[in-house]
Structure 1
Amino acid sequence: MHSPLPLTRDLVLIGGGHSHALVLRKWGMKPLPGTRLTLINPGPTAPYSGMLPGLVAGHYARDELEIDLVKLARFAGARLVLGRATGINRDARLIEVEGRAPVFYDLASVDIGISSDLPALEGFTEHAVPAKPLGPFAESWERYVTQVRAGDAAPCVLVIGAGVAGVELALACAHRLTQEGVAGKVTLLEAADTALRGIGDGARRALLAQMGEQGVDLRTGIRIARVTAEGVELEGGEVLTGGITIGAAGARPQGWVADTGLQLTDGFIDIGPDLRTLNDPLIYAAGDCAHMTHAPRPKAGVFAVRQAPVLAHNLRADLTGGARRGYHPQKDYLKLISTGRKHAVADKLGLRLEGDALWRWKDRIDRKFMGKFHDLPKMNAVQDIPAEAAAGVGEMLAGGVPPCGGCAAKPGAGVLRGGLAGLPAPTRPDVLHGAGDDAAVLRHGDGVQVITSDHFRAFIEDPYMMARIAAVHALGDIWAMGARPQAALATLILPRMRDRMQEHTLREIMAAASAVFGAAGADLVGGHTSVGPELTVGFTVTGLHDGTPVGLAGARPGDALILTKPIGSGTLFAAEMQGRARGADIAAALAQMAAPLGPAAGVLAPVARAMTDVTGYGLAGHLLTILRASGAGADLRLADVPLMDGALALAEAGVRSSLYPQNAVMLSEVAGADAGDARCALLCDPQTAGGLLAAVPGDDLARILDDLRAAGAHAACIGEIVDGPPLIALR
């Protein structure tokens, strides 16, 4: 059997800045075999700074200026670690990431941007919003505009810092308030006696004129004493009222960089012409977080963009033994500065150049840049069919859907029933239940022990997150039977990679699994590991119960059906494999999948008459197992079934998991189902680490839902158990 080339080097990009985004795109066009590429970033998207004033002014929607790092990482074949880097242990070559195991690197690059936070200014951290990082600022601004629109916030904006960034933001804020139809006021505060230092006289005069025309109040020589919830208090006691206070004064480095031992200038990472740090050849830096010692320049996105080809070349050269290149920035460059409305000022050679045409030019440049990420080339994710192949190969690949991972990688329910049909019934008196329920039940002292096993192929590249989700998924059967988790054994297949990479991959997996099992009260006591063509993760788990476990057979007419997590993960990750899912939706789905069911099980187990976890055979399949075992039917309110963000739109677009066709056979047992309806299709969507589905006494429903929500579960009542054959009727 053909297997991929082994992995021999770990390249890690810290931060999703412009340089790294372009490196990822270039890498996707021509990957380097043998390299595992990793991107670490706090969130699933990275905003493009050039279009931020346009967003503030209302010219762009948020998604127009965001680089979707989930899609970009998939295109590049990279694993995406959603977490905030907090340090680098250069001796051990480990990158510390908040809330998870550290990430090993052979070669690393830092592109984490800057902050305009002013922590030394009293009250700023609590009451102001720094303009950088851009993502949190954009969220705060849109929230503020919504409050102004509703009359819940004063339309008064205070901007601290009258450099180019501050002036551009102040003008954008003024335009947006005008567009919202409110009589707003924008005040720009500058400590120096002159605004807009560092640009040409012509551009300065044009921007000052624009502020005058649009009513922006510029105040220079200002000394701020403190920022408060109501605005800004100046030295001398004057108070300026503001519904939002924005910090745009200067550029501050990320604080954790100071503890890395890298050579710094004013907190920024010193780099040479080849973009390597000066005292560690294994670490590069680019963008605003770096200081070019050979050619110091102001912080500007143009340098990050132009560093990218050199950075991509040099990283590849270091991984292959090639020659590095140097980056030598131009001394002067054209700055196009927007003025709130669709009008811009050009800063070049001291001339005064402005007009609507300049804004249209800037808009074309910005959209062209973002088009590189919004319109990624299509890559073939499905294996090509050889000219000569056995009968049936073409038929199995005809759908063009790559095989899914997670619980969507199961065989169909019919295959499973047929394959297990000859399995003999348990003969030992201490084996109380075998195949057919969520877990085997064994006599154990005065109570019972339940035991279950689950295992699936990776559906994301991050082994830490994969292990967290796999552990939650494996515990699902234990929680569904109301048992207390006891012990777990791991079963892992690691990809072919050099020993040190395997060691660190195994360390990440075990750290994640230990955290999940430990929090559930179980011990991870060992397991078995082998090497194969791709990562698979599984666990065998035992649990204890002092009485009779909750099974599938106790549901009664009149019981309410409760679901504790939304569905849609199979559709979302099928779309993610095809580059069609929104990164924010994937990040939200991962968080929901990694959420343990223990708190919800603690509420449901004492009252549930029947309970299961919703996994590979979808909500319809798992509800039908309860109905068959209980000899009852169910009315299901389709509109009340909670869905993961983005799942419905993708289902309406025709996205289906590779397991969906086998699951969809079960729609024949769902009265009123329309296979062409997206919500009906999602009933057959395979779930990984899905929620608990429980039948509970209907007269106690309100209290149970309140308790579940207090426990943090996204619980919903989706229907009732009714008299009749084991069928589902949609209502």
Structure 2
Amino acid sequence: MMQEPIPLVQDIVLVGGGHAHALVLRMWAMDPLPGVRLTVINPDPAAPYTGMLPGLIAGHYRADEIMIDLVRLARFAGARIILDRAVEIDRAGGRVILRDRGALRYDILSLDVGIGSDLPEVPGFAAHAAAAKPLGDYARRWAAFVAAAPARPRMVLIGAGVGGVELALASSHRLRAAGRVPEIVLVERGAEALPRIGARARAVLVERLAAAGVTLRCGVEVTAVAADHVTLSDGAVVASDFTLSVAGARPQGWLAETGLALEAGFLRVDRHLQTSDPAIFAAGDCAHLSHAPRPKAGVFAVRAAPVLLHNLKAAAAGLPLQPFQPQRDYLKLVSLGGRAAVADKFGLQTGGAWLWRLKDRIDRRFMARFDAYPAMARAVPEPAALGLAEAMGDKPMCGACGAKVGAGVLGAALRGLPPPARADVLSGPGDDAAVLRQGDGVQVITTDHLRAVTADAALMARIAAVHALGDVWAMGAAPQAALAQITLPRLGAALQADMLAEIMAAAGAVFRAAGADVVGGHTTVGAELTIGFTITGLAARPVTKAGARPGDALILTKALGSGTVLAGEMALARLPGAILGVAVAAAHASMVQAQDGAAAILAPVAHAMTDVTGFGLAGHLLEMLEASGCAARVALAALPLLPGAEALAAAGVESTLAPANRAAVAGRMSVPGGPRGALMFDPQTAGPLLAAVPEAEAGAVLAALGAAGVPAVRIGAVVAGAPYLHVV
């Protein structure tokens, strides 16, 4: 008997993508707790490993080498990831409030939100300075500064702890390697630099600062920051082209509004890592270990992760919690800018190039945990029916439009349908939507549904709504009404109500913005989340696939590659020199981008129009050419592509539907090989509109689309001849 999916009945929500939570996700993947939906919330798709930050600033690492890809990690862990920022906790209602999407329920909450090093109280800081934490903005601004730095760049770093000293030395090394002669001032309000390190290590580091041309100013504070200088508390004015704060740890301000017990703004946790609310845990720099206070250091977050994981599971299962006891001291490996380091523990110091190699080895070993993930087995049962292995394939089936039935199979089924018998049914299958007579105009009707590609039900609902609306917009119609068809996975009553509410709220917002009403639908429970909509629209004159004429310009309104990017995420693929999660987030952003503005500009002038979805650009363009009796020429170099799509295609990643798309157009097109050619067959979800517009109006149409914020491009032209697609 087939085993039914285990219902999800509790929500564990991880707020923040810090080191402790990253390790919890990694370990959860290997041993999840049945019945729990795990969610991670973070503003960005990747989180930095701070131990490698000085190496990044010094130029020893690329940015992608020090980032933990949270999207890829969440996929491996089977967790839902939501790219948003927490701003409040409604403890009475069991909800965490997010900046952009509102409330999210939890049964158990864990916070690992890090700290900041900005100085909002200093006049001019926000406008003219950078903070080392959080890392993202600092890394981007630093890269831009290095690229455009003058011959004698001037810098001021605020805070002469270990982090400040490391970054001062790293900055000097990077700028000197770029042929610059930097003037760096390191400001410390305390009486001496490096107050939490042994005397011998401090002496070595102070000596290295002097050798690197870094001036150390102790016993003063920065009182104001301007575009080209800072003012100190003793009245001195120090020139600065780049001002950076590494001044200790500042807790996130919103934590003070939670009602949880705090210590100097940080969350007080007990030996079980529980806050004053037993349903809320905390780890990492945002937490204060009330039973064993320690300085803010990533080593404690890493060591706390196994205990945090155990206690989250135990709290969900009603089992005893474990205590966390941090070590008294830890090995401090302080980089010296170049490939050398100083070590300090229990006041003992040593140093040299071998320590850099040790530090590099430790850091890379940590990051390797988030690089290669164990492959999920796809074993064929033994014995099994002949043909089962071929049907299963060698990779998971894609979702969204990648899960469509191939064009050949679908076409064979549709050919068996009789032509419309009613006089008011003006078209049968074959176009983007059926056309019905409606008064002096027409009504169009279409339906579409998608197998989920993300565990974020609200995001999936937005994608599905935009995708279904694409057929209406492609016909030049105004959306009128929508019916929802939703299959929910097995959930407990509370999670079921929550997911359904999320879906309807997110989809309803998309349809309202498009001018349509959601008027009902049907909901059922099945093996996995599937969301679909049946939509009607009204038009005075429908724009069909037929009507393209030789000489027309072909205009595409969105970038291609969503099928390949989503397949890459499902396969946990690496993206060389980049971060897959960033590419996935860009694909999601493209998919939820409505096409109503583009349709309003194109429909009045287009001779023919369609939307590019499951059969890829090649398949949908050939449908237009066959309906119009023309050929087309497309410039491969002109195709707009989503970030990461070409690199993934070059690595052999493709959607499970791509081979069927390629086979369906065989003999009807010529296309160069290589990754760009492969992306002609990539199934798109909520993809672009493709329009054939008169050549004389193409320039004005592209200008209007650009002014409306639509990233449209001309990809080729319709030419005379039998239906055939020439790709050059």
For 1:507, the equivalent position in structure 2 comes to 501
For residue 449 of structure 1, give the secondary structure of its aligned residue in structure 2: strand
Post-superposition Cα deviations, 1:377-421, rounded to whole Å, max 9, x if no partner, equal: 2222x3x21112222212222x40211100111101111111122
- Between the aligned partners of 1:39 and 1:429, the Cα distance in structure 2 is 54
Counterpart of 1:704 in structure 2 is 701
CA contact (8 A) 1:344 1:358 kept: yes
Other structure's SS at 1:431 match: coil
Q: 1:516 aligns with which of 510, 513, 521?
A: 510
> 2:619 is paired with a residue of what secondary structure?
helix
How do 1:527-542 residues align onto structure 2 when only pairs under 5 Å count? 527-542=521-536
For residues 507-560 of structure 1, the C-alpha deviation after alignment (integer angstroms, 9 at most, x for no partner) is: 111121122112212222221110001000111112222x21111111111000
Tell me how far 1:154 sits from its aligned partner: 6.6
Q: Any conservation in 1 of the 2:545–2:627 contact (CA below 8 Å)? A: yes
Deviates more, 1:531-540 or 1:135-144: 135-144
- SS at 1:195's partner residue? coil
Of residues 550, 564, 567, the one that matches 1:571 is: 564
Change beyond 3 A, Cα 1:495–1:687:
same
CA distance in 2, matches of 1:426, 1:556: 27
Deviation of residue 270 (structure 1)? 0.9
For 2:700 and 2:148, the matched residues in 1 are separated by: 34
Pairing partner for 1:298 from 281, 291, 295: 295
Equivalent pair of 1:556/1:632 in contact (CA under 8 Å): yes
> Are 2:410 and 1:416 equivalent residues in the alignment?
yes
The one-letter code of the counterpart of 1:393 is L
Q: What displacement does 1:12 show? A: 0.9
CA offsets 1:663-720 (integer angstroms, 9 cap, x no match): 011342444325x532222111100000000001112222211211221222111100
The amino acid of 1:391's aligned partner reads L
Whether contact under 8 Å (1:73, 1:80) holds in the other structure is yes
What is the aligned partner in structure 1 of residue 451 from structure 2? 457
Shift of 1:237: 5.3
Distance in 2, Cα, partners of 1:621 & 1:300: 54
Question: Which of 210, 214, 217 is the aligned partner of 1:216?
Answer: 214
Question: What secondary structure sits across from 2:369 in the alignment?
Answer: helix
1:364–1:694 Cα change, 3 Å: same
Q: What is the alpha-carbon distance in structure 2 between the residues aligned to residue 259 and residue 507 of structure 1?
A: 27
Per-residue deviation, 1:315: 0.9
Tell me how far apart the structure 2 counterparts of residues 396 and 33 of structure 1 sit (CA, whole Å): 29
Partner residue, 1:445: 439
**Given that residues 100 and 512 in structure 1 are in contact (C-alpha distance below 8 angstroms), is that contact kept between their aligned partners in structure 2?**
no
Partner of 1:392: 387
Corresponding residue number in structure 1 for 2:577: none
Specify the SS of the correspondent of 1:460: coil
Q: Residue in 1 aligned with 2:422?
A: 428
> Residue 287 of structure 1 aligns to which amino acid in structure 2?
G
Which shows bigger deviation, 190-199 or 4-13?
190-199
The yes-or-no answer on 1:69 pairing with 2:70 is yes
Contact 2:152-2:183 at 8 Å conserved across structures: no
Which residue of structure 2 lines up, in the alignment, with residue 254 of structure 1?
252
**How far apart, CA to CA, are the structure 2 residues paired with 1:434 and 1:187?**
75
Whichever residue aligns with residue 434 of structure 1, its letter is G
The separation in 1 between residues aligned to 2:180 and 2:67, in whole angstroms, is 28
- Tell me which moved more, 613-622 or 639-648: 639-648
Whole-angstrom distance in 2 between the partners of 1:665 and 1:444 = 39
Check whether the contact 1:336–1:347 (CA below 8 A) recurs between aligned residues: yes
- Post-superposition CA distance 1:251-276 (Å, at most 9, x none): 11112212211111111111100001
Q: Would the aligned equivalents of 1:468 and 1:512 in 2 still touch at CA under 8 Å? A: yes
Q: Which residue of 2 aligns with 1:25?
A: 26
> Deviations for 1:576-597, whole angstroms, at most 9, x for unmatched residues?
1110051111111111111111
Map 1:328-343 → 2, pairs under 5 A? 328-343=325-340
Which residue is 2:363 aligned to?
366
Partner secondary structure for residue 555 of structure 2? strand
Q: In the alignment, is the contact (CA less than 8 A) between 1:205 and 1:352 conserved in 2? A: no
2: CA distance between counterparts of 1:677 and 1:58?
A: 33
What letter is aligned with 1:392? G
1:60 and 2:56 matched:
no
**Match for residue 99 of structure 1?**
100
The superposition leaves residues 130-183 of structure 1 with CA deviations (integer Å, 9 ceiling, x where unpaired) of 1001222222212222222xx5x9722211111111111111111110111111
Offset of 1:236 from its aligned partner? 6.2
Taking the aligned partners of 2:568 and 2:233, their CA distance within structure 1 comes to: 56
CA distance in 1, matches of 2:105, 2:28: 20
Instruction: Quote the residue 1:78 is aligned against.
Output: 79
CA contact (8 A) 2:9 2:491 kept: yes
Distance 1:564 1:196, change over 3 A: same
Unpaired segments ≥5 residues, structure 2: 575-579
Aligned twin of 1:163:
161
Q: Which whole-Å CA distance do the structure 1 matches of 2:183 and 2:518 have between them?
A: 60
Q: Which amino acid aligns with 2:543?
A: V
**Paired amino acid for 2:383:** E
Which residue is equivalent to 1:275? 273
Question: Could you tell me how far 1:224 is from its partner in structure 2?
Answer: 2.4
Aligned partners of 2:608 and 2:692 also within 8 Å: yes
Asked if the contact 2:156/2:244 (under 8 Å) is kept, the reply is yes
Equivalent position of 1:640 in the other structure = 638
SS at match of 2:117: coil
SS of alignment partner, residue 102 of structure 1: strand
Unaligned runs of 5+ in 1: none
- The code of the aligned residue for 2:685 comes to T
In 1, Cα distance between the equivalents of 2:221 and 2:7?
A: 60
Following superposition, the deviation at residue 316 of structure 1 comes to 1.3
Counterpart Cα distance in 2 of 1:346 and 1:586? 39
Count of residue pairs brought into register by the alignment: 722
Equivalent residue, structure 1, for 2:39:
38
Does residue 650 of structure 2 align to residue 656 of structure 1?
A: no
**Aligned residue type for 1:531:** V
**Aligned partners of 2:695 and 2:158: how far apart in 1?**
58
Contact conserved, 1:115 with 1:254, CA < 8 A, in 2? yes
Contact 1:171/1:211 (<8 A) preserved: yes
Aligned to 1:120: 121
Percent identity of paired positions between Structure 1 and Structure 2: 56
| One-letter amino acid of the counterpart of residue 603, structure 2 | A
CA-to-aligned-CA distance 1:572-626 (integer Å, 9 cap, x gap): 1111111005111111111111111112112211111111110000000110111
Question: Which of 720, 724, 727 matches 1:727?
Answer: 724
Tell me if the contact between 2:152 and 2:180 (Cα under 8 Å) persists in the aligned partners.
Answer: no
